[in-house]
Structure 1
Amino acid sequence: MSPGGSGTRAGALSGHATGDGTGLDARLVLDRGAFRLDVSLTAAPGEVLALLGPNGAGKTTALRALAGLTPLTGGHLRLDGVPLEEPARRLRVPAEHRPCGVIFQDYLLFPHLSALDNVAFGPRCHGTGKAQARALAAELLDRMGLAEHAHARPRRLSGGQAQRVALARALATAPRLLLLDEPLAALDAGTRLDVRAELRRHLAAFEAVAVLVTHDPLDAMVLADRLVVVEQGAIVQQGTPAEIAHRPRTDYVARLVGLNLYRGRAEGDVVTLGPELALTTAEKLSGPAFVAFPPAAVTLHARRPQDRAHNAWRTRVTGLESRGDRIRVALAGAGGELPLAADLTAVAVAELALHQGAEVWAAVEADRTHAYPA
């Protein structure tokens, strides 16, 4: 693996098939001291897979394993049916010989080379003549809308332009596996919006497998076809962005998609969360269940609401955080149980005189909740 990968033809945006074209089939097992990564990943050609997880979850380790930068201690890695790594057979294809392209978080463009020569670098490393490599690079830069910046060095490029050069360099060698490590993290908020949309367009045209590592849920939701959530070295949930957002299964995933999430036992439309804690829900279930609802569904009151349609319980404010035109209020029950987030206007916060330690009643209507099997 170089900054691009292997192969040299000009149709880089679609990738060129090697093997049987079945895509990615991997079980990545790595032991690093007390930490163990054990995740299975599959992806079809044309699919964008996003790895999400908190710091230390193992998502970057997984990406490095796919690239061949960190050896597996177990499992296997096959791309288009071709084995790239099988520790049990002592088989390991070196990183530089894998058909992978990588976009690093800080892009790692060569500062002494122009954008054109940065993109041409991969094909040149794999034996393509200088003129042909530069012609391919010029074609890719033109597709990226960077033709007029072909002779600029990285220091003369904006963050968004540098990101597109890095993408062109990764695609220049027609990789069968494109790996993106936090590809938008180095961009400011304004640039990120435009570049995210542009990157989505280019990934949609990429016919091989793409794997994206990100901590940003919006990047994952916009760029990926399927999400894989990793915590403590293991997969805790996977599915389409809509499935993950609609039915989170861990506290981390719930926070990621902006929901309050609880687990309990359902009987009809009541989910019991603890000895004296229960929520009435819109759905009727039986057995272990999750209940989720957005912070915007929570209302706060100085006194217990009289409306029986509300779930209501006494809480204490544990924190306040400004979020645009709303204030996120963190709450917990008297004994620390049922942690809760509520989004209020500044006017509502002022009227209730909220401050850390203040006691209020929290309420949520049953029809604003969503219950589903655990």
Structure 2
Amino acid sequence: MTLHADLSVQIGSFALNAGFDVEPGTTLALLGPNGAGKSTALRALAGLRPMSGGAITLNGRMLDEPGQDLFVPPERRSVGVVFQDYLLFGHLSAVDNVAFGLRARGQRKRDAQVEAAAWLDRVGLAPQARHKPRQLSGGQAQRVALARALAIRPDLLLLDEPLAALDAATRIQIRAQLRKHLDDYEGATVLVTHDPLDAMVLADRLLVVENGSVVQEGTPVEIARRPRTDYIAALVGLNLYRGVADGATVKLDEGGVITTAHATTGAVFVAFPPTAVSLHRTRSEGSPRNTWLAEVTGIEQHADTMRVRLTGTPDLLADVTTAAVAELLLSPGQQVWVSVKATETHTYPS
């Protein structure tokens, strides 16, 4: 049930080019900003978007190869899809929605309903089996859509922003339940999301897509620890810079110099969290620090701290307490000294 995808899709001036493999029992998340090409990739895998090149193979079976004029239509692919808006049939009950795919594959009505009821029980919705979609909460509708996709026992499961339609409180609960169902699923799963938490919790590997191209691939831990683009750094909450290292000194591409804890040479990334940044009214003295003057451009609530945006050489984000904001009288336009200990920085090859 291994998926091998070499996707090439041209839509007007936009081009998607992405290649990846997904092993049985694992989940790959396509993570990226809006317009990056994530949903285009998902629709190509489902057979809902024609490819201009490349190939898709599932469990040794070729599904799509434009160069050989080969295309397997969606209904003949062993693929289950959960769309962002779930797309449940409004006139059918939950159990009939789940049974729909089974009936479409030729199963007798009674047998399909018995199997569908078992799937609803598996996702905790046996009491809602006769409810219509309008009688279901968002989380319940999501689970019906998941049961419908899994009931046909697909070799490949595709999830398009499966938690996007849920409120924050419901998302926490459904995310945990979805992870359990994915752990039990034996096929390959491809998840599309722009939410880093969904990707980190649900996926075994991440494929980061920007402007139609793959910019980074790895485990959630690898991606979070070593981001390679500003988009990823912002998602995982790190200050990220490119530069050239000469020993423990890195000359940054955007200007400025940062001293690191470990010596290296050549092109590198330097990263550190906003919590590693200290703000001061006057230049900080004492232990070796990276210190420079910066101007406050914005202050906003961030979790249980205040996130301060600063322009300088280089620009950066700092997370400080509410008390620190009051003590320093921070406001947009104010100049402050920023400092970062060398031991708080993380350097890796670019």
**1:241-280 alignment, distance < 5 Å:** 241-274=220-253, 277-280=256-259
Q: From 315, 328, 332, give the equivalent of 1:356.
A: 332
Report the counterpart of residue 346 of structure 2 in structure 1. Answer: 370
- Amino-acid identity (%): 59
SS at match of 2:102: helix
Deviation of 1:308 after TM superposition, in Å, equals: 4.2
The match for 1:288 is 267
Instruction: Show the counterpart of 2:12.
Output: 33
Closer, same or farther: CA 307–173 of 1 in aligned 2, 3 Å: same
Equivalent residue in structure 2 for 1:324, among 303, 313, 316: 303
Distance apart, 1:33 and its partner CA: 1.5
Instruction: Say if 2:242 and 2:253, in contact at 8 Å, map to a contact too.
Output: no
Q: CA deviation at 1:165?
A: 0.6
Partner of 1:204: 183
Q: Secondary structure at the match of 1:203?
A: helix
- Aligned twin of 2:89: 110
Q: How does 1:83-162 map to 2 (within 5 A)?
A: 83-162=62-141
| 8 Å contact kept, 1:52–1:213 | yes
Aligned-pair distance for 1:313? 0.7
Q: Tell me if the contact between 2:250 and 2:257 (Cα under 8 Å) persists in the aligned partners.
A: yes
Partners in 1 of 2:325 and 2:294 — Cα distance?
A: 15
Corresponding letter in the other structure for 2:56: L
Tell me how far apart the structure 2 counterparts of residues 268 and 307 of structure 1 sit (CA, whole Å). 22
Deviation at 1:275, TM superposition (A): 8.6
Structure 2 vs 1, CA of residues 276 and 154 (structure 1 numbering), >3 Å: closer, same or farther? closer
Alignment of 1:309-348 (within 5 A): 309-333=288-312, 337-348=313-324
Task: Provide Cα deviations, 1:115-157, integer angstroms capped at 9, x if missing partner.
Answer: 1001000000110000110011011111111111111111111
Please give the TM-score of this superposition, normalised by the length of structure 1.
0.92
1:344 deviates by 1.0
Runs of 4+ aligned structure 1 residues displaced above 3 Å come to: none
Partner Cα separation in structure 2 for residue 275 and residue 44 of structure 1: 40
The unaligned stretches of length 5 or more in structure 2 are none
Q: Kindly state the Cα deviation for residue 225 of structure 1 after the two structures are TM-superposed.
A: 0.1
Matches within 5 A, 1:165-176: 165-176=144-155
- CA 1:276–1:163 in 2, change beyond 3 Å: closer, same or farther? closer
For the aligned residue pairs, the C-alpha RMSD in angstroms reads 1.1
Q: Helix, strand or coil: the match of 1:229? A: strand
Residues 143 and 272 of structure 1: CA distance in aligned 2, closer, same or farther (over 3 Å):
same
Q: How many Å separate the matches in 2 of 1:345 and 1:276?
A: 28
User: Secondary structure of the equivalent of 1:244?
Assistant: helix
Q: Deviations over 1:86-122 (max 9, x none)?
A: 0000101111211111101111111111110010000
The residue number in structure 1 matching 2:60 is 81
Residue 274 of structure 1 and its aligned partner are, at CA, apart by 4.7
How far 1:324 moved relative to its partner?
A: 3.0
Q: How many residues in Structure 1 have an aligned counterpart in Structure 2?
A: 350
Aligned amino acid, residue 79 of structure 2: C
Opposite residue 355 of structure 1, the aligned amino acid is: S
- The residue type paired with residue 331 of structure 2 is H
1:186 corresponds to: 165
TM-score by length of 2: 0.98
C-alpha deviation, 1:276, in angstroms: 5.9
CA distance in structure 2 between the partners assigned to 1:33 and 1:111 by the alignment: 34
Gaps of 5+ in 1: 1-20
Matched to 2:162, the amino acid is P
Query: C-alpha distance in 2, partners of 1:111/1:275?
Result: 54
